[in-house]
Amino acid sequence: MDLARSVNEMRQWRRVARRSPLALFPTMGALHEGHFSLARQAREDSELVAVSIFVNPLQFGPAEDLASYPRDLDRDLELLEPLGVDVVFAPQPADFTPPQRRTTVHVAGLTDRLEGASRPGHFDGVTTIVTKLFSIVQPDTAYFSRKDFQQLVVVQAMVRDLDLPVRIVECDFVRDHDGLALSSRNANLSTQERRRALALSAALSAAVTSWDGDADVARARLVEALAAGPGVELDYAEIADPDTLEPLHGIHRGPAQALIAAWVGSTRLIDNARLPAVASATVT
């Protein structure tokens, strides 16, 4: 497994391997089984696999957890080695996000709500860095988890709009045995907070089970369930169109996406679930 610590090193690696199909999955490190499942899927699908590890400062707001975000490159490299990853691109922040940078990639509309409303500028940071990764690594495919559902939709729109020569592969995300969605930020939860965080997956599971096509009722149930969770401070709970992320109201015939964000202690967590199409629903 090779390690590229600069843009030039990564470009040189790709030039040597330019004739081989390459899969990329971008990460911010602090790797867990959710990341490893993407690596294994990429390994099955492609001749070469690249992983990027970069804690992107552009997607963190001034009051967010950039400084405390878990970092351990040596551990991440050790865990990736047996997965058949060919190259890890772990650029230095000063090299990858120089202070004199003036260009931002912005996806309008999709980034104004949900995470975009709670974290202004977050998605501009995501799309700017993902565009740079695609330009430097030059993957044929890129793997993104549905865990960050809005990010997935935003990146898909960016690739379409800019005609980028990358195929985005949607991947299921992994939950722990008790239902908690795997996240690098879970490491910041105390034992008690981790138990309290189960309210998120429990609320989504109940929403899926009770889903009858009524978006307003489903949204109200989500809010009620999370408001009742001890130690859980709700940021948002939404029932949205999976393609446009527009909030849904009334009876909805097609599939919907339930998306939530909440604070558990000082840790902000997100989760989501697909609500399937309801054959008996009627639009009024």
d(CA 198, CA 180): 6
First to last CA, the chain: 57
pTM equals 0.94
Task: Render each residue's pLDDT in the chain as its tens digit; 284 residues.
Answer: 999 999 999 999 999 998 899 999 999 999 999 999 999 999 999 999 999 999 999 999 988 889 889 899 999 999 999 999 999 999 999 889 998 999 999 999 999 999 999 999 999 999 999 999 999 999 999 999 999 999 999 999 999 999 999 999 999 999 999 999 999 999 999 999 999 999 999 999 999 999 999 999 999 999 999 999 999 999 999 999 999 999 999 999 999 999 999 999 999 999 999 999 998 644 44
Mean model confidence pLDDT for the chain: 95
d(CA 26, CA 71): 15
Q: Report the DSSP beta bridge partners of residue 214.
A: 251
Radius of gyration, CA atoms only, the chain: 19
Q: What is the CATH number of domain 2-171?
A: 3.40.50.620
Of the candidates 35, 106, 122, 249, the residue annotated as catalytic is 35
d(CA 221, CA 238): 11
Taking only the tens place, the pLDDT of each residue in 154-202 is 999 999 999 999 999 999 999 999 999 999 999 999 999 999 999 999 9
Task: Please list, in sequence order, all residues whose beta carbon lies within 8 angstroms of the beta carbon of residue 272, skipping any fewer than 6 positions away.
Answer: 146, 147, 149, 204, 257, 258, 259, 260
Task: Please list, in sequence order, all residues whose beta carbon lies within 8 angstroms of the beta carbon of residue 174, skipping any fewer than 6 positions away.
Answer: 32, 33, 34, 37, 181, 182
Domains of the chain, residue spans: 2-171, 184-273
Spatial contact of 182 and 33, defined as CB atoms under 8 Å apart: yes
Q: Which helix (H) or strand (E) holds 37?
A: helix 33-45
The answer to whether 35 is a known catalytic residue is yes
d(CA 15, CA 156): 26
Rounded to the nearest angstrom, the gap between the alpha carbon of residue 141 and the centroid of all alpha carbons in its chain is: 16
Taking only the tens place, the pLDDT of each residue in 18-27 is 889 999 999 9
The length of the chain, given as a count of residues: 284
Grouping H, G, I as helix, E, B as strand and the rest as coil, residue 169 is: strand
pLDDT score of 19:
83
Q: What is the CATH number of domain 184-273?
A: 3.30.1300.10
